Structure 1
Amino acid sequence: MTNAVPTACARTVHGSGPGLLLAHGAGGGIDANYGPIMEGLAAQHTVVGVDYPGSGHTPTTPMPLELDALADQLVAAADAEGLDTFALCGYSLGGPVAIRAAVRHPQRVTALVLSATFARVDTRTELAATIWHQLYDTGQHLLLAQYLTQLAVSAPLLNSLTPAQVRAAAEQTASALPPGTGAQVDLVRRADVRDDLAAITAPTLVVVTTADTLIPAALQYDLAAAIPGAQTAELTSGHLPFLEQPNHWLEIITGFLNRQRDQR
């Protein structure tokens, strides 16, 4: 459904060099999910990202979101920046978006990095997404933020905080929830790219967040196993690597991309 998103999603561009397209997670955005590592990514790449409807400066849409439309918006942003080829980096929901872009435009994709992501959510994660969606739609945003904190932050980090610190963080999260959260989480529940995985031809790295309780490591390893020749790298983090392990996450991504560039 190409009409499931606005004519053009808001675009973020940083740096110079080979192209690198970023796809963000549900309830997030390019700045929210990649801001802590953006400077490092942009040091060697022309980094281009788009915010999904209802995130960043992209308005909401009444239509359900579709992976193909989001993938095409991402590639259209590369076109607008004059990038003929590019690497793709997808985080969480951005993983299926990046996978769909890689399959639809194989001749243009030089590498694929998938972090904390899935091909299809399992029953447990679908339930978590259902609760997430319902809490958002019913306006229980502080409770939602507390729920997401419990799900998305690793136990060691969460237990290092006091209850007062956790509540303060949840209040900040609740105030920053993008208006497109509901539609984006709905897409998490529907997304299924399992049939696309065997068709991926780009060198692929799956970054497994090993302490992730929202997208369990088992789902991430299943994804990697279904992609021809995919490599894996483990990151000791919950679902928010940009919060818990930004420097290590950046090192893993840039190290892989540099190796692929050197081999071309």
Structure 2
Amino acid sequence: MLGYSLGTAVAVRATTRHPDRVTGLVLTSGFARLDNRIRLAVDVWAALLHDDPKLLAKFLTLVATGRDHLETLTPGQLEAAVDQLAAFVPDGSPEHVALVAKVDTRVELAGIAVPTLVVATTLDGLASPVLSRELAEGIPGAELVEVEAGHNIGAEARDEWLAAIEKFLGRLS
């Protein structure tokens, strides 16, 4: 099972509630608890969600994109990315934000008994790599890999992320 961002908490909970259904776990850009950075981001995210989608898109782009990747964009590309994000606020977003605000799976980490890879995004301005390291430390035998990317690892370091996952999965076979 692979969990990304908030999905790491969902994956942890699913793994501990249904251990017979999970044989391996990959947790990327995750957290078992909120730190002050995420707490503040959630507050801003919730406040802007209904009032100003364009400003919300700018905020999320700022905190979710690694500096190096952000600086490769031309002003036109940046504006287009923000516009695209602002135009897409999926149904369930308020519930998503509310769920992020409640995450605390720290007690469950010690109960994970499957091989686990934790991928920390080292340039992440939303889910600090410290939180991914805490995930790895809390799960017995977990392997930690750090990838130089912001929260948007799929756009910023897709190949490195995929290589880490494939290497991990190859050892499970």
TM bin, normalised by shorter chain, reads over 0.9
Runs of at least 5 residues in structure 2 that lack an aligned partner in the other structure: none
CA radius of gyration, larger in: 1
**How many Å apart are 1:104 and its aligned residue?**
0.5
Q: How does 1:1-264 map to 2 (within 5 A)?
A: 88-138=1-51, 140-261=52-173
Task: State the 1:245 CA deviation.
Answer: 1.1
Give SS of 2:110's match: helix
Q: 1:164: how far off?
A: 2.9
Write the deviation string for residues 140-166 of structure 1: whole angstroms up to 9, x where unpaired. 111100111110111011112233321
More helix by share: 2
Instruction: Give CA deviations for 1:87-124 in whole Å, capped at 9, x if unaligned.
Output: x1000000000000000011221100000000011122
TM-score, normalising length: structure 1: 0.64
Q: Which has the higher contact order (CA 8 A, sep 6+)?
A: 2
Partner Cα distance (1:163, 1:133) in 2: 27
Residue deviations 1:31-54, cap 9 Å, x none? xxxxxxxxxxxxxxxxxxxxxxxx
Which digits, 9 at most, give the CA deviation of each residue in 1:41-81, with x for residues without a partner? Answer: xxxxxxxxxxxxxxxxxxxxxxxxxxxxxxxxxxxxxxxxx
TM-score of the two chains, using structure 2 as the length reference: 0.96
- Distance in 2 between residues matched to 1:145 and 1:211, nearest whole Å: 19
In the aligned structure 1, how far is the partner of 2:146 from the partner of 2:58? Answer: 26
Q: Which runs of 4+ in 1 moved over 4 A?
A: none
Q: Which moves more between the two structures, 230-239 or 155-164? A: 155-164
